Structure formats: structure tokens, C-alpha cells
Amino acid sequence: MTGDRTADQRILTARLELAPLTVRDADEMVQVLGDRRLHEFTGGHPATLDELRERYARLVEGRSADGTQAWHNWIVRQLADRRAVGTVQATVIGGGSAAEVAWVIGVPWQGQGIASEAAKAVVAWLEGRRVRTIIAHVHPGNRASAVVATRAGLTPTDTYHHGERLWRRRAPRGPAILPRRRRANRSTDSP
């Protein structure tokens, strides 16, 4: 999984396209992510166009410098008008066994279930690639993100990291695949 690149891996849902991130997306996303209210729980400030281009240039590399993390980033677009409304990301670690997911949807598009739909799609995408554990960090005051995490199948834990609660989903283990037993030859068992 760590060598699996996001490039050309679009994810479609009923209302959304998750399109692999490109540096060019910064031009559109600077407006989508420009509202200070998006930083209420995470701190910081909206990125400038140059800052966003630099960040996206790093992200499209697809991996950390040491190769221990694979970065998958998508622009969330509405299918109806192809408008960008946010981002969703997955950082895969542990040789592909675990991932951390995150989402951000621009303020005008919040409250419409877009983040939930996008997060569920990414969780399904990860599980389709055999990622067993999926986590998210959610600020305890961010009720909207707690709803998104719940809808994506994650549950809260008692663990906090930098003031954010860890939410986790472990893929269910499938039934054990046992070798087929040979059936007894009934023709020799009958009188």
C-alpha cells in the first residue's frame, strides 16, 4: 500500500467526485479554504495561494521523505457542477496496515453531508486495499467532525493527542478460509 499512488485514482459517490490532488488545484482551493472559521479547532490561519501551492507540491509527491508514509489526497468536487468544495486525505503507515484520515469542507458547503459522504468513500477505498485500522483525530468541541467520523464507521477512544480525541475503525476480520473437506464417498457407505 505504501507504494500505491493516488494519481488517476478517482473515487465517485452518489454526489461527489474525489479527484486526485494536483498543484493546480491550489488556485481554486485558496477560496474554498479561505474562511478563518475552518481553523476554529485546528488553529492557524488560511493559507495564501503561494503557501497552498507549496503544500500541494509536497503532497503530490505521495510519500514522506523517509518513505514510511504514503500520502493520498483528493479534492472533493460536486458532480452536479464540478465545483471544488473541500479536501479529504489518507496517510497510510505501518506498511499499509493503518491509515489516518482527515477532511475539510468549505464553510458554504457544510451541513449537507458532503464530509460524511467523502469520508465514507475514503474509508471504503482504504479497506478495499486491505488497510485494517483507520483513525482520525477530532477536537472534542467539533461536533460536526464527530458526526462525520461516526458516519464513516469510526468510534471514539479514550486516547487524546494534542488535545484531539482519537477515533478508530478496525476492519472486521473475515471468516477463516479453511480447506474444503473431502466428502466421504457415499456409494461405498450404503448397504
Distances (CA, A) of 11 to 45, 99, 156, 177: 29, 17, 26, 30
DSSP-derived pairing of the beta strands 16-20 and 11-12: antiparallel
Low-confidence spans in the chain with pLDDT less than 70: 1-8, 173-191
pLDDT at 173: 65
Distance CA 20, CA 96 (A): 19
**Can you list the domains of the chain with their CATH numbers?**
11-171 (3.40.630.30)
pLDDT at 77: 98
pTM given for the model: 0.86
pLDDT at 153: 97
Q: Could you tell me which residues are beta bridge partners of residue 42?
A: none
Which distant-in-sequence residues (6+ apart) come within 8 Å of 16 by Cβ? 76, 77, 78, 79, 114, 117, 118, 121
